[in-house]
């Protein structure tokens, strides 16, 4: 008798595909991994926007967008190696750190992959190789050139421009330094088991460790984070517990929150204001540098969701988090 299994339509070059595969592995949810190819296009069309990963659930329905999916899986499989901390305060913090990984961390991946000729060439050809499944180099190269041109053309829209490159590089170095110091002390942020925050950052890092230029950077400046990435890829054998709220948070949590207060939340606020005003682009000063990119409704929704999650916390948990969020300059951005 065949065990019902989730079907993940994804790609090795997709941070969100690997994020969801790693979550499935850790939670020991039966699944099959399908590398997308042209024959999967009709199946991917079952979702409104066919961005991978597309996952077929056990009831036959198709879904995508990693954050809603991970929460749906929590509801479908309660108590089965959850990735959401039991403590409401820690659950909120983990969600905020996940959001930073998904929405700012992806700028590291996109910039590094499509900024330099070296990375553009290798990764466009590798991604074409993954999709085309043979047919000769000329066929692979033709798709690689098409895909490369499309992705490079999207860079200004997501803020990955020459003008923004110094800030991307500075924030990447800062995030890597935080993780490198952290993983040398303990593998996880909220206890002895991984949360949704680790899986979000793993997704982005999983690409940096493969692409030529960022791989060199990670191995030189964050060698133990480079190895940690490989641990998170399959944590199905990890057994652990969530931290007690009576114990101190890992220093990395407050350091990442400070990053949120100085960079990520001001970015979300500026984007949300641009969306509300109907503007196509916006500029905001982050760490003393101007940042310009296209306005995105999805990221305005991210801010709204974070504010709603914070407001929904039990009063005691919100009060407990207030000094930490105030100290890290996050509180004023999150309070409704």
Domain residue extents for the chain: 6-76, 88-109+163-334, 116-158
Q: Give, in words, the CATH class of 6-76.
A: alpha beta
Q: How many helices (H) and strands (E) does the chain have?
A: 16, 6
Q: In degrees rounded to 5, what are phi and psi of residue 188?
A: -130, 160
pTM of the model: 0.96
Give the burial string for 30-52 (b: 16+ CB within 10 Å, else e): ebebbebeeebeebbeebeebeb
> Which pLDDT score is estimated for 3?
79
* pLDDT value at residue 78: 96
Mean pLDDT, consecutive 10-residue stretches, the chain (336 aa), reads 88 98 98 95 92 96 96 96 98 98 97 97 97 94 97 94 97 98 98 98 98 98 98 98 94 98 98 98 97 96 97 96 97 91
- The predicted structure's pLDDT at residue 246: 87
Sequence length of the chain is 336
pLDDT at residue 1, rounded to an integer: 55
Is the bond preceding 81 in cis, omega lying within 30 degrees of 0? no
Interaxial angle between packed helices 15-27 and 196-208, expressed in degrees from 0 to 180 and rounded to the nearest 10 = 130
What is the pLDDT, as a whole number, of residue 336? 72
Integer CA distances (angstroms), 57 to 6, 30, 47, 62, 175, in order: 5, 11, 12, 6, 34
Give the model's pLDDT for residue 151.
96
């Amino acid at each position: 008798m065949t065990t019902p299994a989730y079907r993940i339509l994804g790609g090795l070059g997709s941070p969100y595909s690997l994020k969801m595969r790693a979550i499935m592995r850790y939670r020991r949810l039966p699944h099959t991994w399908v590398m997308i190819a042209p024959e999967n296009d009709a199946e991917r069309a079952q979702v409104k926007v066919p961005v991978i990963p597309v996952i077929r659930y056990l009831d036959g329905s198709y879904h995508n967008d990693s954050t809603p999916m991970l929460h749906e899986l929590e509801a479908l499989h309660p108590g089965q190696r959850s990735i959401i901390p039991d403590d409401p305060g820690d659950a909120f913090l983990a969600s905020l750190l996940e959001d930073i990984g998904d929405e700012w961390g992806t700028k590291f991946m996109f910039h590094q992959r499509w900024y330099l000729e070296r990375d553009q060439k290798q990764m466009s050809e590798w991604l074409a190789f993954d999709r085309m499944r043979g047919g000769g180099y000329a066929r692979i190269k033709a798709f690689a050139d098409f895909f490369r041109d499309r992705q490079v053309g999207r860079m200004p829209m997501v803020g990955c421009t020459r003008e923004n490159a110094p800030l991307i590089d500075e924030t990447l170095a800062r995030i890597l330094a935080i993780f490198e110091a952290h993983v040398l002390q303990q593998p996880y942020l909220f206890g002895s088991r991984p949360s949704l925050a680790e899986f979000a950052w793993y997704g982005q890092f999983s690409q940096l460790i493969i692409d030529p230029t960022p791989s060199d950077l990670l191995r030189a400046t964050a060698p133990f984070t480079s190895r940690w990435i490989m641990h998170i890829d399959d944590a199905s054998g990890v057994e652990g517990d969530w931290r007690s709220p009576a114990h101190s948070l890992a220093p990395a949590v407050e350091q990442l929150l400070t990053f949120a207060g100085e960079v990520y939340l001001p970015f979300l606020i500026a984007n949300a204001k641009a969306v509300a005003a109907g503007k196509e682009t916006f500029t905001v000063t982050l760490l003393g540098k101007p940042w310009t990119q296209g306005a995105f409704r999805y990221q305005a929704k991210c801010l709204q969701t974070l504010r709603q999650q914070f407001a929904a916390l039990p009063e005691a948990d919100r009060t407990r988090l207030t000094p930490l969020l105030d100290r890290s300059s996050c509180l004023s951005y999150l309070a409704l």
